[in-house]
Amino acid sequence: MGFTMDAQVADALAPIAEAAAGTIPPPVGDVAARRVAFEQLIAHIDGAQPTPTDVTSGDFMLTTADGTPMRLRWYTKSGSQSGRAAVYFHGGGMILGHLDLFDGVVSRYVSASGTPILSVDYRRAPEHPHPTPVEDAYAGLVWLHENAAGLGVDPARVAVFGDSAGGGLAAAVSILARDRQGPRIARQILVMPMLDDRNVTPDPRLEPFVGTWTWDDNRTGWRALLGDAAGGGDVSPYAAPARLADCTGLPPAYIEVGQLDIFRDEDLTYALRLSRAGVPVEFHLHPGVPHEFDGIAFTADVAKRVYADRIRALNSF
């Protein structure tokens, strides 16, 4: 018996599939076309749910190591003083998305959990290939630690959090902080993370269900980030965490992925390798759902379960 998509999720995704029917997807390497298409979809998803009124935000600027100013946005819930905080990195395959597109998403996480979040507007490939995105992400973590007292944050209770490419960045920042003996990370929250540049060959069992992020999209993202090194033998784990040889000493991890997601195998493998290295892991494999399904099918039962798990993870450190 083969895979089937969750019925509620399939109903929610059907209009998007119908709109895409008959269109020709952009070729591998066409970043500009993907930015237009995906950023329109992200904006639609972000606006489909109400933005909480009990969350306030404010922007800060930091100067990166190469002298570039970078925006950070600090979100807090009115009346909440938990002492926790998370540093958030948005998705987008390393090539698209920006801080403003995820404003509602982050606000909803903060409203539901009470945990303040610092959203980092890291630079994207191909204009800014590796190591710029991960160094930007790490700089955001360092900034939060350096400013923890003024923000009412306990430096021992800071997590890194991201989805898709942002989940990959959260994993990479965790490795970087360990290796540099940098800021303490209380938890890494990896939502359907993009971890492995070698994942470019379609799986025929998954192909009928893949739409929101394909292997051609994945190949485009990794090539933009790594150039000709993508898929080769000399890729840094700070770019592709699946390349990490030694997982010992990394922060406790929450990892989730859908069974119809092209990142399924790399996420399963990473969770197993962390566990074998003695890292506490909570792992969820959700049957019947593809990549980033929850933003569109947010009323589906499985999306509600997924969201509850993320909120619990944000309250767990």
pLDDT at 23 over 90: no
222 assigned to some structural domain: yes
pLDDT at 21 over 90: no
DSSP for 186-255, written as a single string: SEEEEES----TT--S--TTTGGG--SS-HHHHHHHHHHHHGGGTTSS---TTT-GGG-S--TTPPPEEE
52 assigned to some structural domain: yes
1 assigned to some structural domain: no
Structure tokens at 209: 């269900």
Structure tokens at 300: 């589906």
Confidence of residue 97 (pLDDT cuts 50, 70, 90): very high
Q: What is the pLDDT of residues 99-154, one digit of tens each?
A: 999 999 999 999 999 999 999 999 999 999 999 999 999 999 999 999 999 999 99
**Percent with pLDDT over 70 in the chain:** 100
Q: What is the pLDDT of residues 152-181, one digit of tens each?
A: 999 999 999 999 999 999 999 999 999 999
Confidence of residue 9 (pLDDT cuts 50, 70, 90): very high
pLDDT at 193 over 90: yes
Domain with 130 in it: what CATH number? Answer: 3.40.50.1820
150 assigned to some structural domain: yes
pLDDT at 52 over 70: yes
Distance of alpha carbon 60 from alpha carbon 74, whole angstroms:
8
For the chain, the average pLDDT equals 96
**Percent with pLDDT over 90 in the chain:** 92
Domain assignment of residue 307, given as a range: 7-314
67 assigned to some structural domain: yes
Q: Which residues are catalytic?
A: 164, 261, 291
Distance of alpha carbon 265 from alpha carbon 230, whole angstroms:
18
Count of the separate structural domains present in the chain: 1
88 assigned to some structural domain: yes
Q: What is the pLDDT of residues 194-216, one digit of tens each?
A: 999 999 999 999 999 987 899 99
Residue 1 pLDDT: 67
117 assigned to some structural domain: yes
